[in-house]
């Protein structure tokens, strides 16, 4: 089902489509109907807790072709940031530097698997990347941008911070987590922005024996 733009802030333009990811005629702003119902519960709680604040949807449904595009794109960006040639690294998959960068990618990006037993979370229509928008309509600073491949992306990274600004980042992440917990979403262990309900990651994180949703 489409995520209603009058209820949630939808990232405009869709971030991966803007990079050239091959969505075709599909929109990233879709979720399973049961997942969307739970997201509405989270939004209601947030509005009661912080009047006027809203959940912003960075990305939701993602075809496997888009997952592959972003895995490749992220590897390329990390390689270039290190002053390396991505094509040269990929030509030598056993090279230590190639494996290090691929390890960083897979820490944050699921494999674009076509195996029905191991669908990427976003391809199930049950996972979404979110952040917060305040009363003025401004995206809230959470201490690191969505998709940053570093330890700063870990949900609890700022929990023990002593700096006032860093503590605020931790409090905002906790607020987002509390809001999503109202809908019984599970959070990715490495990404403050990623939540899901009913997919394999959700099942693993919540101790369920089976996922509700497979790939779309």
pLDDT digits (tens, 9 = 90+) for 135-176: 999 999 999 999 999 999 999 999 988 899 899 999 999 999
Residue-range definition of the domain harbouring residue 184: 9-65+122-206
What phi and psi values does residue 201 have, to the nearest 5 degrees?
-65, -45
- Tell me the residue length of the chain: 216
The answer to whether position 90 is within a domain reads no
Mean pLDDT for the stretch of residues 197-202:
96
The answer to whether position 127 is within a domain reads yes
Q: What is the pTM of this model?
A: 0.94
The string of DSSP letters for 73-111 reads: HHHHHHHHHTT--HHHHHT-TTSHHHHHHHHHHHHHS--
Total domains in the chain come to 1
The answer to whether position 14 is within a domain reads yes
The answer to whether position 79 is within a domain reads no
Strand partners, 139: 133
DSSP 19: H
Rg (CA), the chain: 17
Catalytic residue positions? 191
The answer to whether position 3 is within a domain reads no
CATH code, domain with 188: 3.30.1380.10
The answer to whether position 4 is within a domain reads no
Residue pair 104/75 in contact by the 8 Å Cβ criterion: no
The answer to whether position 195 is within a domain reads yes
Of 4, 29, 24, nearest to 14 (Cα)?
Answer: 29
pLDDT of residue 160: 87
The answer to whether position 188 is within a domain reads yes
């Amino acid at each position: 089902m489409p995520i209603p733009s009058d209820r949630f802030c939808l990232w405009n333009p869709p971030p991966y489509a803007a990079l050239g990811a091959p969505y075709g005629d599909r929109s990233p702003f879709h979720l399973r109907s049961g997942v969307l119902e739970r997201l509405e519960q989270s939004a209601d709680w947030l509005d009661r807790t912080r009047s006027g604040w809203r959940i912003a949807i960075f990305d939701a449904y993602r075809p496997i072709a888009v997952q592959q595009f972003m895995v490749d794109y992220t590897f390329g960006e990390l390689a270039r940031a290190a002053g390396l040639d991505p094509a040269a690294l990929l030509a030598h998959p056993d090279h230590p530097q190639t494996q290090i960068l691929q390890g960083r990618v897979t820490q944050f990006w699921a494999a674009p698997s076509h195996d029905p037993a191991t669908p990427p979370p976003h391809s199930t229509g049950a996972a979404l990347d979110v952040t917060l928008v305040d009363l003025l309509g401004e995206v809230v600073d959470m201490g690191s941008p969505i998709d940053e491949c570093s330890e700063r992306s870990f949900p609890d990274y700022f929990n023990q911070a002593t700096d006032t600004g860093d503590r605020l980042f931790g409090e905002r992440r906790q607020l987002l987590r509390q809001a999503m917990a109202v809908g019984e979403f599970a959070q990715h262990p490495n990404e403050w922005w990623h939540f899901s309900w009913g997919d394999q990651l959700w099942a693993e994180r919540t101790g369920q024996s089976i996922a509700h949703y497979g790939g779309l």
